[in-house]
Amino acid sequence: MSGSERSRKTRRIVVYSMTSIFFSILIAGIVYGLQPMILPFIIGAFLAYLFKPLANSFRGPAITKYIRAGALLFFVGSITYWGTTFIKASLPNEREKLQLKVRLQYRLNERYLSLMNLADGGKGNFIYKTLGQEFDELKKRVIDYVKMSDDERKRFLILQKEISDSDHENKKYYEYYLANLKNQKVDIEKLKSLAGSAIVAIEKPAGDDIGNLANIMRALSHWIILPLAFIFILLDKGQIFHFFLRLIPNRYFELAYTVAEKVDDALGKYIRGTMLECLLVGLTLFIGLFISGVELKMAIIIGMVGGLTNAIPFVGTFIACIMGVFYSLIAENVHSFLPFINENNLMIAVLAVVVIAHLLDNAIYQPLVVGSAVNIHPLVVILSVFGGSLMFGFAGMIFAIPTIVIIKVVTETLFAGLKDYRII
């Protein structure tokens, strides 16, 4: 190597190092300064990545990329809006929450008495005679857990007073309430008098609304980045990838492309496969529960939650099971499509639906839609999701699985590639 070439090489190293340091500092500064925008950006990019194959599949002379991106944004936006509105509407308000507690306590007690043959003066069945003491203790603990506090009781009575006499559906909870108190041997008259005492609602200061509006506007200004990221990444025809690949030295050019392609392929297959699997499990749960007699709104909620959480092995099944059992405990007036399912055996039907959904997932959905995708041990998935949520909260939970897939595929492909290209 001649002297001029050596000095050129030195200059090149210095320029590259200085540029790298400058851009590293700049990027770190930007990331730190724009922290609130990172999550919306990542979600927008993630959605674009997810829907890119769908956008590419809609082709035709009249369908430009702008129409495709706009239509998909509208579709994703509508689904998100519908989903959040539905979930918001499904969440119980204060009165419904208290009624739910009353109903749960009442139903639990009723179910226990009927299960142990203690209702209508019964002396208990064989199970009760053998293990009655232990079961009584367990029931007491559960009831203690769901029963209302004194403040909640006062609030419940006030809210019940606001209900008109013709509203029999809501009025019945007062009967349940009295029955619960009777079971707990509480002085009813004393409690009734409590309801009369005024509970002063905490008045919000006038400035609060303006403060809230400012907060909403600030949040909106951050989240506006989401549709922008979605549109621009969906419209991108490989320019971003070209840009980053241009930065790779010639020696690693083919290798870098191969690794990036393999990661993209594996990540895409895993995420899209898992999403489709979740959708199928959610649909199975919804249809099964609805046919069994679970009311429509509740069947949708259990299907949605069970389906979404199914991305974490076993968690989806477990959550759907808990929610279904909880619902079957408080279910009233069950109208099932199957004549043999009633209020008393709804719990068995719900458990059967959850088991069927789980079996279908393992036997058909997973092999069919996620079969060729990268294989990650369930324990690793669970640990990464919990670890992600501990470290970065909600965002960490969402992006834990994609991160694990990227790390696994990059490690595997990179080392194999480095050997194939005789770099190591």
Q: Which is nearer to another protein, 169 or 420 (CB)?
A: 420
Choices 23-31, 79-87, 214-222, 257-265; region in contact with another protein by CB under 8 A: 257-265
Q: Which is nearer to another protein, 278 or 374 (CB)?
A: 374
Applying CB under 8 A, which of residues 135, 174, 223, 257 lies at the interface with another protein? Answer: 257
Answer for the pair 277, 365: CB distance below 8 angstroms, yes or no.
yes
Is residue 16 within the footprint of another protein (CB under 8 A)?
no
As a whole number of angstroms, the distance between CA 313 and CA 315 comes to: 6
As a whole number of angstroms, the distance between CA 316 and CA 313 comes to: 7
Answer for the pair 375, 317: CB distance below 8 angstroms, yes or no.
no
Answer for the pair 335, 405: CB distance below 8 angstroms, yes or no.
no
Q: Applying CB under 8 A, what is the total number of residues that bind another protein?
A: 18
DSSP state of 369: I
* Site track 261-300 with another protein (rule: CB under 8 A), x = hit: x---------------------------------------
Closest contact distance (angstroms) between CB of 368 and another protein is 21
Is residue 245 within the footprint of another protein (CB under 8 A)?
yes
Q: Residue 112: enclosing H or E segment and its boundaries?
A: helix 94-115
Answer for the pair 347, 329: CB distance below 8 angstroms, yes or no.
yes
Is residue 422 within the footprint of another protein (CB under 8 A)?
yes
Query: What are the helix (H) ranges across 2-64?
Result: 3-33, 35-57
Helix, strand, or coil here: 284? helix
Q: Which is nearer to another protein, 167 or 254 (CB)?
A: 254
Closest contact distance (angstroms) between CB of 253 and another protein is 6
Is residue 244 within the footprint of another protein (CB under 8 A)?
no
Closest contact distance (angstroms) between CB of 302 and another protein is 38
Q: Which is nearer to another protein, 308 or 406 (CB)?
A: 406
Name 53's Cβ contacts closer than 8 Å, sequence gap at least 6. 268, 272
Is residue 3 within the footprint of another protein (CB under 8 A)?
no
Q: Among 369, 375, 371, 366, which Cα is nearest to 404's?
A: 375
Considering only residues 184 through 243, tell me which ones interact with another protein, judged by CB under 8 A.
Answer: 237-238, 242
Closest contact distance (angstroms) between CB of 9 and another protein is 10
Helix, strand, or coil here: 140? helix
* Site track 47-86 with another protein (rule: CB under 8 A), x = hit: ---------x--x---------------------------
Is residue 167 within the footprint of another protein (CB under 8 A)?
no
Applying CB under 8 A, which of residues 117, 170, 258, 345 lies at the interface with another protein? Answer: 258
Closest contact distance (angstroms) between CB of 70 and another protein is 17
Applying CB under 8 A, which of residues 169, 175, 254, 332 lies at the interface with another protein? Answer: 254
Q: Which is nearer to another protein, 258 or 336 (CB)?
A: 258
As a whole number of angstroms, the distance between CA 21 and CA 234 comes to: 31
User: Within the chain, how many helices (H) and strands (E) appear?
Assistant: 16, 0
User: String of b and e for 289-325 (b: at least 16 CB within 10 Å)?
Assistant: bbebbbbeebbbbbbbbbbbbbbbbebbbebbbebbe
Answer for the pair 404, 383: CB distance below 8 angstroms, yes or no.
no
Q: How many CA atoms lie within 13 A of 357 on its CB side?
A: 32
Is residue 372 within the footprint of another protein (CB under 8 A)?
no
Closest contact distance (angstroms) between CB of 316 and another protein is 32
Is residue 318 within the footprint of another protein (CB under 8 A)?
no
* Site track 400-419 with another protein (rule: CB under 8 A), x = hit: -----------------x--
Return the ∠ at Cα 183 (arms to 180 and 186), rounded to 5°: 85
Residue ranges binding another protein (CB under 8 A): 56, 59, 237-238, 242, 245-246, 250-251, 253-254, 257-258, 261, 417, 420-422
